[in-house]
Structure formats: C-alpha cells, structure tokens
Structure 1
C-alpha cells in the first residue's frame, strides 16, 4: 500500500462516479492505516462506515437534533499558545457563526470578533457556549444578527449547538454520522466537527487521518470552503492527513477553494468518470489521452493514482479477512 505519510504531505482528494467503489477503496485504506497505528476520524454524511466501526470496535458518534452526543462550537477556540493561534481560532469560530447566520456583513464580523474576545475573557472554569456570544452581541446592539441566531439559542436547534461537549477522540477509529441532520444543517455540522478535530490535533499532534466523505458539501458555502482549504494547507504541521472524497469533480474544480485543496493534496485518487466530468479532471491533473480513456471505461475498484509526479493505474482489492469488515452489500451482510 502506498504510504501517504511518506509524500510531501499526507492529504488526498478522491474523485469518483457513484458506484465506482470510492467508499470501499477508502475503507480498505482506513483498515490498513489502523494496522500501522494511525488514528482515523471519519465524517460520514451517508452512514457508509457504521459496519466498519462495529467491526473494529470504533467509536460511533451519531449527531442529530435528537442525539445525546454534543460538540460545543466554542471548544474550537480554547487551545491556543500565541496571539497568532488565537487570531486563527477567532477566524475559525467567526466562520462557524457566519455559516449559522447565513452570512455576516462587515459590521457584524467586527462585532462577532469583539464579542468572541469578551466571551473568552469572561470564561473561567467552564467553556463558554453560543448563548454567551448571543448575550454579548445583544449588548453590542446587533439585534438583527441575534434574530438570525435565535433558533440555535432558544429555538428548535438549541439542543444541537448550545451544549457542552461530551465526546472524546481517544479511540483509534472515530466515526461521526450526520445522516439524520437536515440537509441545510449538514455543512454547519461538518464545519464544527472539522474544526473540533483540528483543535484536538493542534493540542496533541500524532499520526492521524481525517476522512471527509461527500466533501463537496463544504464547498457550497464560502465559510466552510475557506476553512477546509486552510486545514488542508496546515495539516502537515500537526502530523495530520486530510482525505476528501467527492462525486462532484466539476463542483470541486470550478471552485477557487476546491482547486486550492486539490493542489495541496499530494495524493490524488481518480476513479471512473463520465463525459460531464472528464474534461475538468484531465485538465486539472494533466492526464494523457490513455489515462482519459482509462477513467471513462475502467471497472468498479479501478483507480488512477497520481502521487506527486507519478501516475499509476491500480485495482483496489481487499484481503479475504478485510472484505467482510467493509462490505455494504446486503446479500453478503445478511446471507
């Protein structure tokens, strides 16, 4: 197996049509990374990794409006060691608030910045929560912004985003299942999870892989797209590899942040494409006519690996003992 951590960074991008074997390929790598002592964290919007988690005694965290598992967004900004780190954390948290509020104007951004600083100065033994920021913004006269945040404080979503964190990342495999989140809340939760993971990684660097499935969801909004592009750029500093998987190659490659993510990923895994996506993939990765033909006609499990300047066609095959742990084929699971 190619060791992504031996490349100039451990990040990867996977582009693949539905049914081409991208989730199966990702699970094969996860198993082999676990065998090598890498801790793996997965953001799973489609409940693809539940069986894998059960197979290896992983931690399975189901986040939804009814879930008992909670992440406090303000845990994103509590581990800092310098003014530069604090500034970075405030920007990250501002992006979370901006996504919740469906955008911030210049005045609101400035108010959020001041309010976050006040909230952390007042925090003593316990972590601040979203309601504390809301109170500061109200005192600053940001009534329209408070109105947009109301549902996260005392409305229908208060239990989701305004609670203290009660989860840990201490297991070797941690799966965050967000399938039951409403579609408009998934990008917010994906951003909060990613930022929470980044905070943990900064506090205690060790060999880790963060897998973000359906990564195109993070490109739908500038705040989350900017964050994940920054995470990919800085991941190597913290012994972290970020693996982003997407069916939507065109959406990714037409985005400024998507192209930045692709350029900062030393490992590119290209699986079967169709005629609507192939041109963008060929141009972005400078593929030959043979490689273009291969991606249009290859079978399930076939891939073109682009690692630094090397291009290699492979077929991903699980070992006999690996396959039962990762298959989602109902005829095999329930036979």
Structure 2
C-alpha cells in the first residue's frame, strides 16, 4: 500500500490510500476506514511514526473495551504486531499477554499471525501468554467457530506450559481428549475450586493452587472508586 499509493506530492501509505479513496468517490470503503484515518483509532495505522510503545513502561496495557466489537480483533492484532515489531527491533525479555485470543484467531490473517509469532517469539526473547475462557474456541473443528484450519491446535502445541482452570461440563470431554487427560482429572476439573488448576508441561501434569499476595490482589481487583477520597 505504501508503495503503490506513493505520489509525487508526497501522498503515501495509509493516509494517501484513504485520501485516494475519497477522491475516487469510493464511499463504502472510505467509510469503513474513517475511524482509522480521522477517528479515535487513527494512531493504529498512522504513517507519522507514532509508536504505541514509545517510552516503554514496565507494564503497558492496550485497553480495547471502548472499541466497537467488530473493530476489536483488528485493533488487537495491530497491538500484538506492535509488540512483535518492538521485540524484533530491540530484543530483551518481554511477555505479551493476549486476553481472549479467540477474537484474533477467528480471522484467517489473525490466526496465521498468532501461530507464526508463537513459533518465532523465543528468538527475540518474547514470551507469549494466550488466554481464553472457552478452550473449545481453539480446539473445535466446527466451522461455525470460524477458527481457520487447525491454527488453534497449532497455537496450543507451541505452548511450553498450559494452565487449565475449572471447566464446564460441555467442554471437559473436548479438553480431556485434546490434552490426553484421564477421566479422574476430567472430573477434578469440573469441580476444582477457584484458584486451583492443572498445569501441563511437556509430558507432566501438576495440580496447583494459585494464591495472590495482598499487593497482587489489590492490583487485579483494582476499583478506582476505592481511592476517590484519598
């Protein structure tokens, strides 16, 4: 896009592409891209060198809650690619945590990107943590779940560690088959208390209990109104 839409007057990249759509009267595509050109999402596809990780902090959170649901997968992929680019450019120990990874994996390009990153991240000292509430979103071959090919399973196969928390009765059989769990452990996953889980490493299984310190609990359960008068 940056090459094809380069013009003598300097119009290039996404900005030039969007301007060309307006000039050509392609209102349908232009309308779809407007949030990324002039709206609140304009920094995601900016041609002006805006770095979402400028002055990189110890913890950076990309909060997508206020985006329209149909825009979140694209924004999540852009944020993930930003971290990937930073890792490739300046390798140092980092961890990228992707919550609700299925939202990216339901699109072919997103699924391919995530699997590729899972295979190559270690070379750039980048650790990956993928989170999903329903593991069937990554395991199911049901075409209605829209996971492309076997990308979900490929993502899991590249994970050195997998943590299974309490499972729903509708999902536990699929989980048991995918991770080769005996019926005893499947039953345990149905009733294990909050904070307990099954840690899977290569060839081993460990029942564990996760206990947060007071400081960790305060961060995880942060509520702004607690500090309104402080």
TM-score by length of 2: 0.80
Report the equivalent of 2:211: 317
The answer to whether the Cα contact below 8 Å between 1:327 and 1:333 also exists between their aligned partners in 2 is no
- The alignment status of 1:226 with 2:112, answered yes or no, reads yes
Residues 281, 153 of structure 1: alpha-carbon distance in 2 compared, 3 angstrom cutoff = closer
Q: d(CA) in 2 for partners of 1:274 and 1:155?
A: 38
Q: How does 1:50-199 map to 2 (within 5 A)?
A: 115-118=1-4, 129-134=13-18, 147-154=27-34, 158-159=38-39, 160-161=41-42, 163=46, 164=48, 165=50, 167=52, 168=54, 170-199=56-85
Residues 95-124 of structure 1: CA deviation (Å, up to 9, x unaligned): xxxxxxxxxxxxxxxxxxxx44445898x9
- Do the aligned residues in 1 keep the contact of 2:139 with 2:152 (CA within 8 Å)? yes
Aligned length: 214
1:276 matched to 2:156? The reply is no
Distance 1:333 1:303 in 2: 32
Q: Which residue of 1 aligns with 2:128?
A: 242
Q: Please state how far the C-alpha of 1:300 moved relative to its aligned partner.
A: 0.5
Corresponding residue of 1:300:
194
Give the Å deviation of 1:333. 8.0
User: Once superposed, what is the RMSD of the aligned Cα atoms?
Assistant: 3.2
Partners of 1:151 and 1:158 within 8 A in 2: no
Q: Distance in 1 between matches of 2:225 and 2:36?
A: 40
Please state how far the C-alpha of 1:229 moved relative to its aligned partner. 1.3
> In the alignment, does 2:92 pair up with 1:212?
no
Checking the alignment, whether the CA contact within 8 Å between 2:163 and 2:199 is kept in structure 1 is yes
Matches of 1:237 and 1:230, distance apart in 2: 12
Match of 2:143 in 1: none
Q: For 2:110, what is the secondary structure of its paired residue?
A: helix
Equivalent-residue separation in structure 1 for 2:86 and 2:176 (angstroms): 37
Greater RCO, CA 8 A, separation 6+: 1
- Over 3 Å counting, the alpha-carbon distance change for 1:128 and 1:172 in structure 2 is farther
2:185 alignment partner in structure 1: 291
Structure 2: distance between partners of 1:169 and 1:307 = 35
After superposition, the Cα gap between the structure-2 partners of 1:138 and 1:262, relative to the gap in structure 1 and judged at 3 Å, is: same
Is 1:267 aligned to residue 161 of structure 2?
yes
**Compared CA separation, residues 309 and 152, structure 1 to 2 (3 A):** same
Which string of whole-angstrom CA distances, capped at 9 and with x for unpartnered residues, describes residues 152-200 of structure 1? 5556863223544253251110001110000000001001111111111
- Aligned 8 A contact 1:151 1:157 in 2: no
Task: State the TM-score, normalizing by the size of structure 1.
Answer: 0.56
Q: 1:320 to 1:280 in 2, by over 3 A?
A: same
